[in-house]
Structure 1
Amino acid sequence: MTLAEEFRSRNFSIYGQWTGVVCMILCFALGIANIFSPIVRIIFSVICLACSFVILFIEVPFLLRICPTSAKFDAFIRRFTTNWMRAAMYTAMSAIQWASLCTGASSLIAAAVMLLIAALCYGLAGLKSQEFVGSKTLGGHGVAQMIV
């Protein structure tokens, strides 16, 4: 299945996965950009930066095979294999970034909005009872098995 066919499949888990990749890039960039802010915002910035790495391992599954990680981290990442668990994770990450508004307006709100959109995509996939389908481009459908 090509990337265009994946998007035409109307499977919201594909949309959620690609939105997650955008979230990963955005969280990384905004985490670094806001690191030189008032002290309380630095905490939210570091959390945003950490979220980008968690999203990276969740959305690009073959990285668990090629990167040396601990068994505890692997077990934590493997919890997020269903649409509902991913929706809950993205909702929690979004809520944390929305809470960063208590320190004043910042660009972290863009991360909060994108994380919320990813949560909505996975939530819609769960509501429609769509099975989680990983994008071939991001390492789904047997790509991880071909590496090892």
Structure 2
Amino acid sequence: MALMDELKMRNFSIYGQWLGVLSIILGLALGIANIFHFNLLILFSIILLCSSLVLIFIEIPLLLRICPTSAKFDAFIKRFTTNYMRAAIYGVMSLVQWLSIIVDPSSLIAAAVVLALAAGCYALAGLKQQEFVGSTTLGGRGVAQMIV
């Protein structure tokens, strides 16, 4: 299934997954860019970088098979297989980045917005009782089976 076919399915979990990938890219870029502040914003930058690294393993399941990770980490990541759990983790990560405004308004707000949009998409998929569908482009069911 091609990317455009996936987007035409009108399943909000696909939209959430692609917004998640966008938030990974933004998180890594903005986390590195804002880490050079000499105030408490460094803490929020480090949290965003760590969040982005966790999201990589949540959104791209192929990496769990390729990268050597511990059993504890794998069990933690496998908790986020439902739409509601993904909405929850994205919501918490977004809230943390929104709290960075207290220290200093910065470009971390862009990451907070995209994380909130991804959380909203996953929550909508859960409310509409849509089954979680992973993108095959990102290593969903079909690609992950080919590796084994």
2:76 alignment partner in structure 1: 76
Gaps of 5+ in 1: none
The aligned counterpart of 2:97 is: 97
The alpha-carbon deviation at position 55 of structure 1 amounts to 0.7
Structure 1 segments (4+ residues) deviating >2 Å: none
Aligned to 2:125: 125
User: 2:137 aligned with 1:140, yes or no?
Assistant: no
Matches within 5 A, 1:9-88: 9-88=9-88
Q: How far apart, in 1, do the equivalents of 2:82 and 2:66 lie?
A: 22
> Would you say how many aligned residue pairs link Structure 1 and Structure 2?
148
Q: 1:2 deviation in Å?
A: 1.4
Displacement of 1:141: 2.1
Give TM-score scaled by structure 1 length: 0.98
Instruction: Tell me the amino acid that sits aligned with residue 48 of structure 2.
Output: C
1:28 alignment partner AA: L
- In 1: Cα distance, 2:39 partner to 2:49 partner: 15
TM-score normalised over the length of structure 2: 0.98
| Percent sequence identity over aligned pairs | 68
Q: In structure 2, list runs of 5 or more residues that go unmatched.
A: none
Instruction: Give per-residue Cα distances to partners, 1:109-141, cap 9 Å, x unaligned.
Output: 000000000000000000000000000100112
- Alignment RMSD, CA only? 0.6
Superposed displacement of residue 39, structure 1: 2.8
Q: CA deviation at 1:38?
A: 2.7
Q: What is the deviation of 1:104?
A: 1.1
Instruction: Deviation per CA, 1:60-110: give whole Å up to 9, x if none.
Output: 001000000011110000000000000000000000000000111100000
Correspondence 1:5 to 2:5 = yes
SS at match of 2:99: helix
**Paired residues for 1:100-111 under 5 Å:** 100-111=100-111
Alignment partners' CA distance in 1, 2:136 and 2:89: 22
